[in-house]
Amino acid sequence: MFEGVTVARPVVVADQILDIDDVQGSLPALPLLRESLGVRLMVVGSLVVAHGKRIDLWRRELKRGFPLRFAVMAHDSEGLSAQFGASAEQLQSLYDSWAPDYDADVESWGYQVPVEVASALMAEGVGQEHEVLDAGCGTGGSGVALKQAGFASVVGIDFSTESLARAKAREVYEVVAAVDLTKPLPFRDHRFAAVGSAGVFTYIDDVEATLRELLRVTESGGVIVFSQRTDLWEARGCDAVLAGLEAAELCTAESTEPKPYLPGHPEYGDIIGVIYTTLRIPIR
């Protein structure tokens, strides 16, 4: 699998960055570690991506035997796309491969962002019979949270086709569709009463452009709730973006204090939080 592969960029291990000092001699052993520790590996462009339930053990074994320097992606201000120059297709491949284990992994880390987003939408008094867009639905955990909150009509969009297949199988969506949130959305103006976006803006560099599209497809008097990691809030200029949207009278914006993001994650737990923002569209 790795014969002839030259990795000039860091190796991504789930949410870890591994800077390789000397790839030569390391790659041949990776398949052995994959088999012995149950960690799946794949090549995505110039990245080697690995994930599995025994990532931490895999990392410890690498530390013992190979010349690797470890850095946590959560400490970086850019995020996966910007840090590695990964294309939408590469990110899609990453999430397609992660889809079978994604729910179990994030559950083990105490991930509650979808529930928080759904609860925030309910607190805004969005009618449960109205159509809601789940922007970046992934494997459907956010759709489950929206259904459990009482929303009857939910549309799910994501760029990972494997994740969408799992989301569809949950039978909580009216429809799911493959959509890239960094591009214009294939919906008419003012279609949705509300939009929820849980854990998606980590991978969106142009926050303003995506928020403007979400505002476009949300009806007058509607509401949008999205999350953003604390380590990316300033780097993505979120305060300035929200101020600009308010100045343009497109919405009002209210953000929470930081809340737990992945409290059970061994390295994110006490370092990275999440901020929830509610955008309220004025009635026109």
Residue 3 in domain: no
**Of 35, 70, 86, which residue is a domain's last?**
86
Check residue 131 and give its pLDDT: 96
Q: Is 95 left (phi over 0), alpha (psi -120 to 50) or beta?
A: alpha
Residue 61: predicted pLDDT: 43
Amino acid 100: pLDDT: 72
Mean pLDDT per segment of 10 residues, for the chain of length 284 residues? 36 41 40 44 42 45 36 30 49 66 79 96 91 96 96 94 92 96 95 96 92 98 96 94 98 97 79 95 93
250 in the same domain as 168:
yes
The Cα 215–Cα 192 span in angstroms is 10
Query: What pLDDT score was predicted for residue 270?
Result: 80
Asked, for residue 94, whether it belongs to a domain, the answer is: no
Positive or negative torsion for Cα 278, 191, 146, 222: positive
What is the per-residue DSSP string for 241-257?
Answer: HHHHHHHTTS-EEEEPP
171 in a domain, yes or no? yes
Q: Can you give the residue range of the structural domain that contains 263?
A: 113-280
Q: Do both 74 and 129 map to the same domain?
A: no
Distance CA 74, CA 93 (A): 21
CATH assignment at residue 133: 3.40.50.150
Helix, strand or coil, per DSSP, at residue 169: helix
DSSP code, position 149: T
Is the same domain home to 190 and 268?
Answer: yes
155 in the same domain as 57: no
Q: How many CB atoms lie within 10 A of CB 32?
A: 10
The structure tokens 């939009």 sit at 195
- Specify if 97 maps to a domain: no
Q: Work out how many domains the chain is built from and give that number.
A: 2
The number of angstroms, rounded, from the C-alpha of 123 to the middle of its chain's C-alpha atoms is 23
Predicted pLDDT of residue 90? 60
Same domain, 207 and 69: no
* Residue 108 counted as domain residue: no
Residue 193, pLDDT score: 97
End-to-end CA distance of the chain: 58
